[in-house]
Amino acid sequence: MITNNTTNLKDLLAKDEQFLSSALYRVFHVVAERGEGSYIYSTDGMKYLDLTCGIGVTQLGHCHPEVVKAAQAQMEKLMHISCVTHHQLNITLAEMLSKILPGEINNTFFCNSGAEAVDGSIKFSRRVNKGRPNTICFRGAFHGRTIGGTSLSSSKELHRRHYDPLLPGVNIVDYPNCYTAKEPEKEASRVLESIEKLFKSSLPPDSVSAMIIEPVLGEGGYTPAPLKPINFMKELRTICSKHGILLICDEVQSGIGRTGKWFAIEHYGVEPDIITMAKGLGSGLPIGAFSAKKEIMSEMPPGSHGSTFGGNPVSCAAAVKTLEVMERDKVLDYVSKTGTELMKHLDSELSTKGGSTSGGKSKANVRGLGFMIGIELASKEIAEKIIQDCFKEKMLILSAGAEQNIIRFIPPLNIEKDLLFNAVDKIIDLIKKA
């Protein structure tokens, strides 16, 4: 039986190489057969603890029974309608989002992915701010792999190589990283001053339609924007409001409860003009969105933007049930409380900020919010070793950052606490040995 499974795996991987584009990189060369809760089961009979969440997608774990049931029930009624008519779940989901979105944001356009949501938000900002062709984004950000998303991204040079010319009018400024800066307390001020200098030297602010930022840098290293001593997002909001620039918060990876609040921007007490989401919204089914106030969303007349599959009835059914379960089960409270405990545990064991391991010698730089945690190691080689060592222990984790030296920790939001901390202790031990 084992031989047959092994042969089957080799055969599947050979066919994968033959028939599927090599552009899609896979971290682990196993073939997933099914998922249940926090676990993935492969075709060769192995069981893996999935601490990747499909890159921040399966918020309630794999195949949550209530989400599956909701999607199945919808499939029996209506699978697709596009914009030919209205459909009920599209309306229901938009109304539910209006109740959890920051501030007065209450109007949503549905699409299929985070990259589409970002592209749509940029189109929208240009529609609102007519005649202002420029956009500001932040170094280390990742906003998707479409031409628009690629133009705004700078987390890895591989994502951009040979794709020039990209979208014009994109201006990249530093992202404030208080965790690696020589003067952490001055980092937010430094970046804010650089934006003002840019306005005075080469980029008139009245030529800028939008500024797009991840409140927590995702692929770029799981780095939250500074909150103290300066609330960076609040200051950015002030700059945008002063110059009539639309502030876009990309919450594709940090949204839908990942940081212990519905959206990471809530940690900063700031209301953006536009917010993007995707990933965790559908618990595994493809759905994305960008949202704004009704009064400015109305600037896009019917037909000025569209999506054949956006807001698909089945994906909407999964999203509605995801939000219902998260609210009913108080998932945000659990993530917030447990994430804080987890950060303190990691910090005490590994952090540069007074960790006690190896007689005071630092093992890692720990940062994050909720269940979006980055563990920065000394090198890419060490991070790769940790990932492979975890794989041998039947745990799946991923790296992040331009140097690929950051372990990103993105477990299901409803993972059992004992399971979570046992896994983290194993990872801590592996880091200490690396």
Joined tokens for residue 273? 């003009």
Which segments in the chain show pLDDT lower than 50? 1-3, 354-360
- Asked whether residue 268 falls in the same domain as residue 375, the answer is no
Classify the C-alpha dihedral 50-217-287-416 as positive or negative. Answer: positive
- Asked whether residue 89 falls in the same domain as residue 108, the answer is yes
Which residues, including other chains, have CB under 8 Å from residue 206's CB and lie 6 or more apart? 132, 243, 244
60 falls within a domain: no
CA dist list (Å): 231 to 64, 109, 188, 284, 342: 37, 29, 8, 33, 24
R_g of the chain computed on alpha carbons = 22
36 falls within a domain: no
- Asked whether residue 200 falls in the same domain as residue 345, the answer is no
Structural domain ending residue among the three candidates 360, 380, 400? 380
- Asked whether residue 76 falls in the same domain as residue 93, the answer is yes
Domain, as residue range, for 323: 67-328
For helices 417-433 and 331-350, give the axis angle rounded to 10 degrees: 20
| Residue 263 three-state SS | coil
CATH code of the domain containing 119: 3.40.640.10
Taking alpha carbons only, the member of 233, 229, 236 closest to residue 254 is 233
Tens digit of pLDDT for each residue in 311-347?
Answer: 999 999 999 999 999 999 999 999 999 999 999 999 9
Amino acid 356: pLDDT = 38
Amino acid 354: pLDDT = 45
184 falls within a domain: yes
Amino acid 434: pLDDT = 85
| Residue 289 three-state SS | strand
Amino acid 225: pLDDT = 98
Amino acid 7: pLDDT = 61
- Asked whether residue 191 falls in the same domain as residue 246, the answer is yes
Taking alpha carbons only, the member of 310, 330, 391 closest to residue 89 is 310
251 falls within a domain: yes
| CB atoms closer than 10 angstroms to residue 1 | 6
CA dist list (Å): 255 to 113, 228, 246, 340: 13, 21, 19, 17
- Asked whether residue 154 falls in the same domain as residue 256, the answer is yes
Structural domain ending residue among the three candidates 310, 328, 346? 328
Amino acid 331: pLDDT = 98
Query: 416: alpha, beta or left, given left = phi > 0 and alpha = psi -120 to 50?
Result: beta
33 falls within a domain: no
Residue by residue, DSSP assigns 149-195 as HHHH--S-GGGTTT--S--TTEEEE----TTT-SSGGGHHHHHHHHH
Taking alpha carbons only, the member of 368, 331, 67 closest to residue 216 is 368
Amino acid 6: pLDDT = 59
- Asked whether residue 224 falls in the same domain as residue 108, the answer is yes
- Asked whether residue 190 falls in the same domain as residue 248, the answer is yes
- Asked whether residue 150 falls in the same domain as residue 235, the answer is yes
Amino acid 353: pLDDT = 54
- Asked whether residue 340 falls in the same domain as residue 277, the answer is no
- Asked whether residue 224 falls in the same domain as residue 158, the answer is yes
396 falls within a domain: no
Structural domain ending residue among the three candidates 328, 348, 369? 328
What whole-number distance in Å separates Cα of residue 398 and Cα of residue 406? 8
Joined tokens for residue 209? 């339609």
Amino acid 197: pLDDT = 97
Report the number of distinct structural domains present in the chain: 2
221 falls within a domain: yes
56 falls within a domain: no
Taking alpha carbons only, the member of 367, 333, 371, 365 closest to residue 350 is 365
- Asked whether residue 310 falls in the same domain as residue 360, the answer is no
